Amino acid sequence: MRHAALACAYAAAALVLIVRARSQRPRPPPVRSAEKDRKSTCAFADRVAQCAIEAFDRLCAAAGVEYRQTVCAAIIAVDRRAGGATFSVVALGVGTKFLRAAQISADGGAGRVVRDCHAEVLARRAFKRFLCAELRRCVESGGGGLLEPPSDSGGRFGVADGVTFHLYSSSQPCGNASVRRWAKSGAGAVHAELADTELPPTPHARLLAPAHARKQGMLALSVKREPRDGGGSENGAEDGGGDDAVVCASGTSALASGEGVVLSCSDKIARWNALGAQGALLAHFLPPLYLASVTVGRRFARAHCERALCCRLQDFAPATIAAMPPGYGVRHPPMLGTALKLDRAAISTAGGAGSHADFSEARCLCWAAGDAAPEVLDGATGEAVGGAASRVCSARLRADFRALCAAARAARLAPASLPEAEEDATTKRDLEDAEYRTARELLHSRGCFAEWGRRTCVAVGQ
């Protein structure tokens, strides 16, 4: 009995020593995945994302840039002409920075700096660079690529039958799409039965906007809020409180706030879905070029994407606007979520460090298919690292457009809508396609864009 009691005592003492020793060991810092696990809408979304992420990894390595956390966006061409489908990245942007009003004003309208280095905007700028180069190649070789020459003298070029363009963003776009009100959040239906070449049927229901929701900003535009402490913006929790408050996503503010002059990415993508992604200059050469789908990674919520990126412009259509130029009108592309993660790392949560994404990296990346190497931009200045003008700044894109016009005239393939000579176009507005300009003015005269259209702001035209 006594021996048994001693054995129990020894065992208890040993257990105390073990527990004490373990408690004195340094504990590993708490960590979490940089991105939460999530489900995919369909295999097509994952294929688009995989294509973009592989390009991101390759281009970052080529540029010698390693991102801890960031946002990547890309435009992917899907070519079905040879049976099946080939996926290729034609434009890519990486970044989370934008310029302050004072910096934009200092540019004096020269277009030498890139005002907005958010990933989606850089990807679209790179896409315009790609289209311009592809049109130039088409002029000089007569076709054979993703674009085709016009069938009639003075007509527009076109996208080859079977070719479509798709947008990928590694995170829910900033602005309206990141406001999680007025609808249930969630990724929506999963279409596991579809092959990775098939898009799901995702019709958008007509958006209903009650008066109280409109008052809260359900359809409103927003600007990227200028940092007050030198930090950057990020897509976090929404701002706004009571039922009557105007709600804006973290990092953005209402148009009338005076806290920024650069439209949110949600608003810009909505414009692309209304006017096309080709822009005002290339509209001379191409009909409105609309995105065939939008795939989002972290924080994807289908209902909020639909509302923000197209459905709040649902009445911008020929059926309701008799003066709409041919081919223009809002499109409602499928909104898809992907399970594939851009950031596969783990981050420390010690001291609350991992409670929000850290988008402090100022270096941004931009690349268009055909570029020998990606360009690294300083998002704090809007210039290429080293101080040169970026190849996707407005001034360089205008120069590329003028060179395209000269080549098209020499080949007798110039669209009839072009000014007869570059000297006739002394401003960017003079260079713009008239039908695109009419459609834009219609967009800016009604709905959520009406306030933007009334404002005199240095950011108009981005």
In this prediction, residue 354 carries a pLDDT of 52
User: What is the per-residue pLDDT across 348-384, written as a single tens digit (0 to 9) for each?
Assistant: 666 555 555 667 889 999 999 999 999 999 999 999 9
In this prediction, residue 245 carries a pLDDT of 77
Average pLDDT of the residues in 252-257 = 94
* Distance, CA of 99 to CA of 462 (rounded, Å): 13
In this prediction, residue 459 carries a pLDDT of 41
- The yes-or-no verdict on residue 198 having pLDDT over 90 is yes
In this prediction, residue 460 carries a pLDDT of 40
In this prediction, residue 232 carries a pLDDT of 45
Give the least confident one: 47-51, 292-296, 421-425. Answer: 421-425
**262 CB burial (10 A radius; 0-12, 13-18, 19+):** buried
* Distance, CA of 299 to CA of 417 (rounded, Å): 43
If residue 223 lies in a helix (H) or strand (E), which one and from where to where?
strand 222-224
DSSP string, 389-442: PPTTSHHHHHHHHHHHHHHHHHTT---TTS-SSGGG--SHHHHS-HHHHHHHHH
In this prediction, residue 271 carries a pLDDT of 98
In this prediction, residue 143 carries a pLDDT of 78
Average pLDDT of the residues in 89-109 = 95
* Distance, CA of 204 to CA of 332 (rounded, Å): 7
User: What is the per-residue pLDDT across 282-328, written as a single tens digit (0 to 9) for each?
Assistant: 999 999 999 999 999 999 999 999 999 999 999 999 999 999 999 99
* Distance, CA of 214 to CA of 244 (rounded, Å): 10
State the pLDDT confidence band at 429, using cuts at 50, 70 and 90: confident
State the pLDDT confidence band at 413, using cuts at 50, 70 and 90: very high
- Alpha helices (H) in 167-322, listed in sequence order: 211-216, 265-275, 279-282, 302-309
Average pLDDT of the residues in 61-90 = 95
**Residue 366 C-beta-side C-alpha neighbours within 13 Å:** 33
Instruction: Identify the three-state secondary structure at position 117.
Output: strand
* Average pLDDT, rounded, for the chain: 89
Residue 270's closest CA among 19, 449, 28? 449
Both tokens assigned to 4: 């048994």
Query: What is the DSSP-derived secondary structure letter of residue 248?
Result: B
How do the domains of the chain map onto residue ranges?
37-96+114-196+209-346+357-376+401-454
**Residue with the larger pLDDT of the pair 443 and 243:** 443
State the pLDDT confidence band at 454, using cuts at 50, 70 and 90: confident
